[in-house]
Amino acid sequence: MSVFAGFFLLFFPLSVTLDFYGDILQNKFCFAVRLFDFLLKSGYARAGRKGVTVCLKKHKEHFFPYQNYKDTEKMLSAFPSVQPRSFFQVIEIGSGENLFPAIGLCAFFNIAANEVFALYHRNRSFLRLRHNCVLVSDETRFRILFRLTLVSNLLSFLIAIAKNLGGFLWQKIKK
């Protein structure tokens, strides 16, 4: 029975969801990370001129300079088995009394999202992609809400960690 449970845990798909809400005009961003819809971590962030400040606990902020993001693609490529499952996006645009700029921006975002989603959906037909644009007439605003769901399993994470650890140890041995 325990062998079956072990195989089940190794191959069972893990679903991780990232929720993000950003108010671009006020420079406020909130996020939450969920595993099977159970909240793992949440916090807020602010973008500045030199980097991003992230707060995960009350009164404890961490600063990440923009220069540190050069190797992000290399770091993410270490986990090739993580696959996107769904992406949902809502953009709220308002320009006060004059709606014409907001309508233009909304049309631009709809066209851009449709083109990008068509490219992704061509290679990954299982991917669920949705985009909405909401026009607001009462105030000037530019807000983004998105939810990204990623799927992987424990075995692929263990293989990726072992591979990276092996490469790290090999580099240390060579020196």
On the question of pLDDT at 22 being above 80, the answer is: yes
- Per the prediction, the chain carries an average pLDDT of 79
What's the pLDDT score for residue 21?
92
Residues 157 and 105 both lie in one domain: yes
What digits encode the pLDDT tens for the residues 106-164?
A: 888 888 888 888 877 777 777 788 888 888 877 788 888 988 888 888 777 777 777 77
Q: Do 129 and 171 fall within a single domain? A: yes
Whether 34 and 114 share a structural domain: no
Residue 134: which H helix or E strand, with range?
strand 128-136
Range of the domain at 117: 82-175
Contact 32, 39 (CB under 8 A): yes
Q: How far apart are CA 83 and CA 88, in angstroms?
A: 15
- Residues present in the chain in total: 175
Domain end call among 50, 73, 96: 73
**Residue 3 belongs to a domain:** no
Shared domain check, 94 and 69 = no
**Structure token digits, residue 56:** 């995960």
**Alpha helices, DSSP H only, in the chain?**
2-11, 72-76, 100-123, 154-174
- One domain for residues 49 and 68: yes
Domain boundary among 32, 52, 73: 73
Calculate the CA dihedral of residues 131, 136, 95, 49 and round it to 10 degrees: -50
Cα separation, 161 vs 159, whole angstroms: 5
Residue bearing tokens 């400040």: 53
Shared-domain flag, residues 93 and 161: yes
Position 8 in a domain: no
Shared-domain flag, residues 94 and 167: yes
Average pLDDT, integer, range 48-66:
79
Q: Which residue, of 73, 98, 116, is where some domain finishes?
A: 73
- Residues 160 and 88 grouped into a single domain: yes
Say if residues 90 and 132 touch (Cβ distance below 8 Å).
Answer: yes
**55 and 109 in one domain?**
no
Count: domains in the chain: 2
